[in-house]
Amino acid sequence: MEFEPKAIVFACNWCSYAGADLAGVSRMQYPTNTRVIRTMCSGRFDPEFVFEAFEKGIDGVLICGCHPGDCHYIEGNLKAEKKVNMTKELLHAVGMDPRRFRLEWVSASEGSKFASLIKEFVDTLKELGPSPLKKDGKGGKSGKDGGSSKQDMDLSRGESLEEEQKIGGD
């Protein structure tokens, strides 16, 4: 069976989420490997989102915001860009492929851009294979995670942020 990556898309409320919506109402076809989470602005992005998502076994994270100059909070997207660049460097230094994490500008009228972006991103993730942190045992060596290995990603983030995940079986 072909590897089906799972990715999270953080889309800003004013442009990108509307862009994703447009892709939907225009019945454009794009892969179903992503879950979209709406944020008020791409500036809401926090490095923690990425680290935690990867920790839980996600294969990729995509941040979408308004084009520079269009941000409804003036420069939220520029702030996001700064944080994203730093996060990418950190991911690289810590040993994760930074291609699993991207920032793109999608406006409300760019439904087709959104659809093709997702296609492209999912293709990249397929090429990269499962994240080394994947908990289903497919990525890297078998996960002997004591109890915390969830087969399915819980995207609702129901649980509160715990100081540390359960580590190791012993």
Partner 1 sequence: MEISPEEFVRACYQCGTCSGVCPKARVKSGFLPRKMVYEIITGHTDREIKSGDSWDCLTCGHCQAICPMKVDFLKMVQETRKTGQNGVCKIAHENTLGFYKIMKDSKVTPKKTEFLADDVKTNEDSDVLYFMGCTTYFDIIFKEDVGFEGMGIADNTIRLLNAVGITPAVLDEEKCCGHDQFWRGQNRLFEEFAKQNAKFLKKYKTIVTGCPECYRTLKEEYKALGIDLDVKHISEFLADHKDRLKGKGNGATVTFHDSCRLGRYMNIYDPPRELLDAAGLEIKEMVKSRDEALCCGVSAFVNCDSENKEIRKQKIKDAIETGADILVTPCPKCQIHLKCLQCDESEPEDYNNIKIMDLSTVLMENLEPAQSVDTSKSQPDESGEESDDNDGN
Q: Which residues bind partner 1 (CB under 8 A)?
A: 46-48, 51-52, 54-55, 86, 89-96, 132-133, 139-141, 163-168
Least Å distance, CB 110 to ligand FES, is: 13
String marking each residue 6-35 x if it binds ligand FES according to CB under 6 A: ------x-xx--------------------
Q: In which order are the strands placed within the sheet that holds 60-65?
A: 34-39, 7-12, 60-65, 101-105
Distance CA 169, CA 88 (A): 30
Residue 126 near ligand FES by CB under 6 A = no
Q: What are phi and psi of 88, to 5 degrees?
A: -60, -45
**Interface pick for ligand FES out of 66, 91, 106, 108 (rule CB under 6 A):** 66
Contact partner, 73, from ligand FES, partner 1, none, Cβ < 5-8 Å per class = ligand FES
Strand 34-39 versus strand 60-65 pairing type: unpaired
Report how many residues bind ligand FES under the rule CB under 6 A.
13
Q: How many CA atoms lie within 13 A of 133 on its CB side?
A: 21
Distance separating the N- and C-terminal Cα atoms of the chain: 33
> Which of 41, 63, 96, 125 lies at the binding interface for ligand FES (CB under 6 A)?
41
In the bound complex, what is the minimum distance in angstroms from residue 80's beta carbon to partner 1? 13
CA dist list (Å): 164 to 15, 25, 77, 136, 148: 35, 41, 30, 20, 11
List residues near ligand FES by CB under 6 A: 12, 14-15, 41-43, 65-66, 71-73, 76-77
